[in-house]
Amino acid sequence: MSNRAYLDAASAEELHPAAREVLLQAIDSGWADPARLHHEGRTARLLLDNARAVLAEGVGVRPDELYLTTSGTAAIHAGLPAIAAARRRAGTTVVHSAVEHSAVLHAAAAAGTAYEVGVDQLGRVDEGAFAQQLREPGVAVAALQTANHEVGTRQPVAELGEVAAAAGVPLFVDAAATVGRERIPGGWSVLTASAHKWGGPAGVGLLAVRKGTRFAPTWPVDEREDGLSPGHPNVPAALAAAAALQARLQEADALDKQHRTWIAELRTRVSSDLTDVEVVGDSEDRLPHVLTFSCLYVDGEALVTALDAEGFSVSSGSACTASTLRPSHVLAAMGVLTHGNVRVSLGRSSTYEEVDRFARVLSGLVARIRAEVGM
């Protein structure tokens, strides 16, 4: 539909044109098993090696430090327990912030004794408390996202990376919200990301493990990806992911400037046009393309549905899925309003006209929903 505005790029970006072209070509040439020695296998291996080299450069590691998985979640579930398992002698505590992605929270609980560090009202981790916990005995690994996927607030990864290094604790970083959009901060030992976040195809995840970081896969090991991602690799998808990342990094500065300006305007308009609304997250030290706000006396899913009927695709943190109806753990940890929550996130194809129309439509929809419940 030509009048629809896709404003949920933080969940997934549409396939980048560069990825689409490469994917179609690679389907015909990269279908064989790259572990085989015949001509077709060697061709697939060459394509896979090329994809790995481009992806590794994009996240700032060597090709032999990058493992390909079937998703960002799979990378987290493989990587975090593997690092923790290799450090059993050091301890079993997994330190993490209260606003990590649910995949990290689940992996941390499964990998050891999870220790949660709180955040402030902007969603930024308590740096002093996190650093103090890193220095405690018995810490196997620490996990900290580069920026929050729901509210956009950046985390002090580089600063806490220095503390972690001094304490001899590997820092595990979920960079899914950042890769392809911004420079990745330093200081980490392990990094994960997901291709569909930057315009690559779904089904490609990245797990980067810097040399010197020990890991012990927690499932049966085969010859694929050092046992961190068993099974036949999707060579065409990996090539498309690499093409999308390379293209997206070339566009990043221009999109950053554009999105930051539009989100700043939208932030101001939401605050001024609506009553009983709370715009959450850091207004400056944040991802450029994300805006999250909560409206009192409004059901988040009702507002998302109403916006969808008007042609806007957005997401809500008020529930993880339509069936759980649980408040967002991120917003709850921040101590901010969780009702009527909406996240707007811009992609490479977003336009100012879409942002402007969203701002003009929003206040009327909120007023209507409030009236329907007698407010």
Give the catalytic positions in this structure: 320
Q: What 3-state DSSP class applies to 290? A: strand
| Pair 269, 241: CB distance under 8 Å | no
Q: Hey, which residues does 344 pair with through a beta bridge?
A: 291
Torsion of CA 176, 178, 179, 184, to 10 degrees: -120
| Pair 95, 139: CB distance under 8 Å | yes
The residue type found at 121 is Q
Strand 277-280 with 113-117, pairing: unpaired
Q: Phi first, then psi: what are they for 328, rounded to 5°?
A: -60, 125
Distance of alpha carbon 358 from alpha carbon 352, whole angstroms = 10
Distance of alpha carbon 218 from alpha carbon 221, whole angstroms = 8
Distance of alpha carbon 157 from alpha carbon 172, whole angstroms = 10
Tokens in use for 99?
């606003």
Distance of alpha carbon 7 from alpha carbon 315, whole angstroms = 8
Tokens in use for 8?
């949920």
Q: What 3-state DSSP class applies to 7? A: coil
DSSP character at residue 92: E
Tokens in use for 179?
């890769």
| Pair 142, 130: CB distance under 8 Å | yes
Angle at alpha carbon of residue 346, lines to 120 and 351, rounded to 5°: 145
